[in-house]
Structure 1
Amino acid sequence: MAETEYSTMARLSVDTIWDFVKEMDNWAPLLTGYQAHEKQSETDSLWTVKGDVGVLARVVKFKVHITEWNGPERVSFELEGVNELLKGQGVFIMQPYEEEPAGAASAQRKNVFTRVVESLLRFFLRLFRGRPERAAASAAGPGEGWAQLTFKLRIDPGGPMAPMINAMMKPAMEVVAEDLSNRIIAQLEAQQGSKA
């Protein structure tokens, strides 16, 4: 199983982030490797994503089923591979950020190899996709009118290659989670800026 979590803060209301995230058509195209998605019902859709994991490049189709809409705080979903053996789940969590969230300071220390792989992946991702443009204030600390967006993703590959795929997938997932979260916030900041 490969699991990742990424949080980012912005001078946006929780409701603003919720209004964007609750509708997958808004953020689906922001996902790294996005090819297409097709809504089949209010809670079900079919996604096509091109993934590069190490030396493997695959186009993966998977079903997404929304399991929870708890506005304006949470959207949870499950994934199931259509053309690949994989299952998973994810969640977007939105919360006011007026003070340091409990547990935010405890980060797991990564080994040198993992940090090098992640920075190379970030470099190439930004080289080919560009860096999300964020408002300068978004790097500041907590205060009134701030919100935190957290994206968690877990994927469990199946089959005989699962252990190898897991090892290669974790660093790539961390980069994708960071990129998606920052692209969502950048899009919202751009929309808010155009309303001002």
Structure 2
Amino acid sequence: MPKGPSSPDNEARPILTRRGVLGGAVGSAILTMCAPLATAQAATPLPLQGAMAKFKPSAPDAASRSAVPDVTALDETGKERRLSDHLGQIVLLNFWATWCIPCVKEMPALLRLQQRWQAEKAPALVLPISLDRAGLAKVQEFYAQHGLAPLPLRNDKGGAAGRAFALRGLPTSILIDRKGREIGRFEGDAPWDGPEAAALFNALFDEA
């Protein structure tokens, strides 16, 4: 049977309702006050205009990035080198091969970028890894013919490094931050020494 108007439950309802309204108002005020802070903390998107529009970020922000595989490859002396040797630098890791026409087309831009970073003493490195199955001698010959000495030389004739990064084709460039995490990747050749790429790199240099 329904309770009458004088029941305790009915008397309490207006008080609870007012409290609910007050609580909602306070909650709304808190949310309004916090909104500018949340906006300020939102991740700034990477500048990916023009030639860099095909660059695919691997995570929505720096905190969400994942560590890259610590792959190995042979250097110009035949010594095995690890990718983790370059922690503390931004690394543009470029997978390529001497028989790959777009790769060969891209090499001059990578060379100019590396030379610029060296001149500016930037905390960054272009690191090409050749997947030539013919081995180190083939890559050394290519470097000599094209004057690529300023670029580090790496060869992974077994292709393990490429498999670790789940490559879909060549060339593929993977941008790695100073903590060894993947920022994103670019499939195909790109003008890495151009202004759009410079804007991307400058944004990464500004990261804490």
Shorter-chain TM band: under 0.3
Bigger Rg, structure 1 or 2: 2
Q: Which has the higher helix share?
A: 2
Q: TM-score, normalised by structure 2?
A: 0.23
Q: Which has the higher strand share?
A: 1
Select the structure with the greater relative contact order (CA < 8 A; seq sep ≥ 6).
1
